[in-house]
Amino acid sequence: MQEVLRGRHGELTALRAAFEATTSRGRLAVVRGEPGSGRTALLRQAAAMWRAEGVAVVTAHRPRSRAVVLLDDADQLAEPVLAATALRMPGCLVVAVTRDNAELAEIADVVVDLSPLPDDVVTELITTRDPLDVSVVEGLRTALGPLYGNPGTVLATLRNADLTWVGDRVFLTHDRISLPGDHPLLAHVHGLAQRVALLCVVREGIEVTDLALLDEDQASCGRALDDLVERGVLTHDLKMLCPALANAVVDQSGEDTVRRVHVALAAGTADPDLIALAGPDLPDARKWAGWLGNRAVEIQSTDPQRAGRWLAAAVRMTDPQPCGRLFHSAMTALVATGQHDLMRAVLDDGPDDDATTDAATMLLLLNGETVDTADGPASDLARWWLGERPDWTPLPMNAHHQDAVITHAELNAIYHALRFDAQALRTALKFVRDEQVKDRFDELTEAGTAGDVATVLELVLGARYRTPDHGPLKLYQRVVRDYAKADFTTALRTVRQLELTRPMPSHHLARVLAAAMHTARGENRQAHGWLAKVSRDIRYAPVKAMVEARLQHRAGDSEGAVNLAWRTIGLAKHAGVRPGIGRLMLLTLQLALRNGDEHIALAALADLTELHRQDDCRATLQLLLLGRGLLNWDPAEAAKGADVVRQRDHKPDLLWACHVLAQFCDDPRQVVRELHAIAREGGAAFLLPAKVSALMRSFGVAAPKATQSGLTTTELRIVELVRAGQTNRQIAAELEVSEKAVEHHLTRLFLRTGVRSRVELAAASLAGRLDDRGATG
């Protein structure tokens, strides 16, 4: 099937006009464009256009009657021959050439230049083929830079990328994107030019004086540099054109060539960056290791990231094993800067039985990496969290060194936070090195009960730790934070990205949150789909039952929902599982009251009272206050509970609290308006507007005019997805409808709200002025 050409309507019109202007004298039309700009696609579409109009189109011979002759890649053909051919033929000769072909342009009757396509056109092009996740589009745009406007380059790079399906979406398996090896730009990168290009990659841009680092004829290096700039491989400020091209240069060169360039650059210099890149391949590497380590210490306070790289290189330059002090310094710096890739490399060269090795192993394991080392208390803690050990025994807190990567007290604090044992956590925090964490106790307990390991580590270890930018720890942390902000679209996208990583506890917890978000939107089928993927392990039972009970209640089986929740509480208490159990107790109380089961409601409140007596933290306090308000019909207690939730700035929990408060508040208007505002602020992400309206009507409260839109749930979801930059195809996949349905909804939205484009629609929504003007269409 002929694919529709996107974004080239003006160029097609110019070619049609060139043919229509032919008389007895033929005309020459030249199509110019950079490699990948779509010259061939334009000629193919033009041929289809002319054939549909009854015009003869040929590609291999000169026609006898009025027709169009198409010649692709005509750069090698002689200009006089083309000019004479065009003059003698009764039609139009259309040739496609590269942009630097000035000779043909001078003799042409019409020149059609293919400029880069706008980003939105390219995005529509690639997402129409496959349901690419937004992260793929953004990754391509960043990696290709100015080449993103060349559709051929984008499509070829996409075919070359490592992609994975997760559900109904396509994701990048890893973040590294490289141009395909047959891209025309790479044809100019060979020999000396390749070494100059590698120098630019290594130095992240170069100066002309940097060419002296290459042991080559400087005049030849200068000519190679000029040629790379002229060919477009390097920009005029001597940087690689884009990251994908830099990656391709490295791939094309091969490890051996890259290694030789690193060594050549480091030879005869005292540049720590170059010496660190050469690493153990540098002659007399061991001699340089101490020097490099000393330079790292000098910059550690001002540039810790670079200091970590230098220390890691120093460790790898020692043979057979580094001294304990150097290894410890390197690992401490890498942990503090989140450079897990270098941590892994240093760990392979470090001592096998060492507290530093044990701490590094723990952090790598928690981030989903496979590490095969001797057991130790820290790595055993990680294996407990991963479900590979039944439990972990806290350590004596006076048996540690203050310069350890992770002290015994900090290991204990991490363990108690993740178990949600607030009383034991308070004791452990008295002995940790970062005094500030004691003031953030409530944040720590809330991160622990959510299973947010990244935040637990950041709070307990303070400046000594940074979560790596990639991996399940960071991804799950983003899910938790976006869920708290009610940014469900972004959170669900990240859950899907998390599915690409090695299965861990965070995956199951994220699946529960995904189910909760779909449940809040009324998307029950999707919610059940995520719940089916959650492990049956008892540690996930309380949080999973929260969603299951809500779904069961919505389906009309309130008694079954209460029984499910109450049974799960008993099983979790018996197994000693604490995270999530308090929230399940409050939900049980709420559902039991609706069913008139006061016995279970009283028992649930007794459990909440005991839970708060044991833990006495903000998380348990909000639950107890809301529970008292519900059971005792006490709006003052419920209001206090809602205030505690507001302190946390957790929008889904605040919505829950407002629902509780609005049930019996003497004057519900303020609460209901707040509830409505929460829903509006979240873009209707976690509350169906119809439910807000019904609740407001039940109290005789009119919706505030400033926020009344009159849009349906589906329309508000589409507005939310447009704001997130999703294409019609992506929106259709998200809502599980056809693209035609999305187009129909958008057309109605434009008419009803008075906006004229997707950009205006998003801007009006963000500004809070998306009003239904009552227009019809």
pLDDT for the residue 353: 65
List, in order, residues 6 or more apart from 604 with CB less than 8 Å away. Answer: 566, 569, 585, 586, 588, 589, 592, 627
| Integer Cα distance of 767 and 762 in angstroms | 9
CATH of domain 472-698: 1.25.40.10
> At 688, is the pLDDT very low, low, confident or very high (cuts 50, 70, 90)?
very low
Choice between 405 and 323, residue whose per-residue pLDDT is larger: 405
Q: Which CATH class is domain 713-766?
A: mainly alpha
User: pLDDT band at residue 24, thresholds of 50, 70 and 90?
Assistant: low
> Which comes out higher in pLDDT, residue 400 or 360?
360
Q: Are 564 and 552 in contact (CB under 8 A)?
A: yes
What pLDDT band is residue 691 in, cutting at 50, 70 and 90? low
**Statement: residue 623 has pLDDT above 70:** yes
* Residue 705, pLDDT score: 45
Domain boundaries, the chain: 9-113, 119-172, 377-464, 472-698, 713-766
**pLDDT (average), residues 23-46:** 82
Q: What are phi and psi of 57, to 5 degrees?
A: -130, 125
**Same fold yes or no, 9-113 and 472-698:** no
- Flag the least confident range among 369-383, 539-553, 676-690, 748-762: 676-690
pLDDT tens digits, 54-102: 888 887 666 667 888 888 877 766 665 666 566 566 778 787 777 777 7
Residues 430-455: pLDDT tens digits?
999 988 998 999 999 999 999 999 99
Predicted local distance difference test score (pLDDT) of residue 680: 58
Q: Tell me the average pLDDT of the chain.
A: 84
Burial (CB < 10 A; 0-12, 13-18, 19+), residue 386, is: middle
Q: Which CATH architecture has domain 9-113?
A: 3-Layer(aba) Sandwich (3.40)
HEC per residue, 328-357: HHHHHHHHHHCCHHHHHHHHHHCCCCCHHH
Amino acid present at 388 = E
> Hey, what long-range contacts does 226-231 have (CB within 8 A, 24 or more apart)?
227/188, 227/193, 228/188, 228/189, 228/193, 228/196, 228/197, 228/200, 231/185, 231/188
pLDDT in tens, 401-419: 678 899 999 999 999 999 9
What's residue 20's pLDDT?
83
Residue 575 has pLDDT above 70, yes or no: yes
Q: What is the tens place of the pLDDT at every residue in 111-142? A: 888 888 888 788 878 887 778 888 888 899 99
Residue 531 has a pLDDT of 97
Tokens of 406: 């992770």
In this predicted structure, which of 402-406, 622-626, 732-736 has the lowest mean pLDDT? 732-736
pTM to 2 decimal places = 0.81
What was the pLDDT predicted at 683?
45
- Please report which confidence band the pLDDT of residue 698 belongs to, taking 50, 70 and 90 as the band edges: low
Percent helix, percent strand, percent coil in the chain, to nearest 5: 65, 5, 30
Looking at residue 5, its pLDDT comes to 55
* Mean pLDDT to the nearest integer, 278-302: 89
Edge-to-edge, what's the strand order for the sheet holding 92-98?
Answer: 57-58, 68-71, 92-98, 27-33, 110-113
Mean pLDDT to the nearest integer, 229-250: 92
What percent of the chain has a predicted confidence (pLDDT) above 90? Answer: 40
Binned at pLDDT 50, 70 and 90, residue 1 comes out as very low
